[in-house]
Amino acid sequence: MLYQDKVDSADKGAQILQLPRLGLGRSQGFAGMKEEDRTPEASTKGDRKKKLSSHEDDPNVIVPTQQVEPMPEPESASLVPEPESAPPFVEIVFVANGDERMVHIFKRPLGAEFSKRRSGPTKVSYVDPQSYAEELGLEVGWVIRSIAGVDMSGKTFQETQAAIRDGLMALPADPA
């Protein structure tokens, strides 16, 4: 028997775990130990302390110095509030009348069209009245500088259009 639960009458039902003391040294296991040290006995706390103190000077016996307390249950992950994440958006930087204008788009459809000549940048070519693009302040003639932090100045119209489309498709659709 390796351990035995004992009820301490002084604590009215508290359980104590008693483990056999193992002799350490040249011999292994229980060799060289007394029979009384091999099996736990029914005893009171006072007797255990007395028995432990009789082995304090013996270098071959490990004497526990404190009682091990059970670990507390981990808190449920649901009690920890989730960090609020910012809603997804697409950031487009335009050049308008020499000034850079950063626009954050949070929903689709946008309600704007873009075009590009053979040589030159991609521009806003049409803004639908009463659209989200008009609400954001987009105007015809604005030049696209970057989309989601990626410079569009050397990109083809198809690459720029794909960047706008991919960014918008990741956004929630406006239910209206």
Measured CA to CA, the distance from residue 5 to residue 71 in angstroms comes to 18
Report angle CA 168, 172, 175 to the nearest 5 degrees: 120
Reading the block at residue 144, the tokens are 């696209």
Check residue 4 and give its pLDDT.
44
Check residue 126 and give its pLDDT.
97
Measured CA to CA, the distance from residue 110 to residue 161 in angstroms comes to 13
Reading the block at residue 70, the tokens are 């059970």
Check residue 1 and give its pLDDT.
42
Measured CA to CA, the distance from residue 103 to residue 105 in angstroms comes to 6
DSSP letter for 68, please: P
pTM of the model: 0.52
Q: Are strands 90-96 and 99-105 parallel, antiparallel or unpaired?
A: antiparallel
Instruction: Give the chain's domains with CATH numbers.
Output: 1-77 (no CATH), 90-169 (2.30.42.10)
- Consecutive sets of 10 residues in the chain, 176 residues long: mean pLDDT of each? 44 54 50 53 49 60 66 60 71 95 94 92 96 96 96 94 93 81
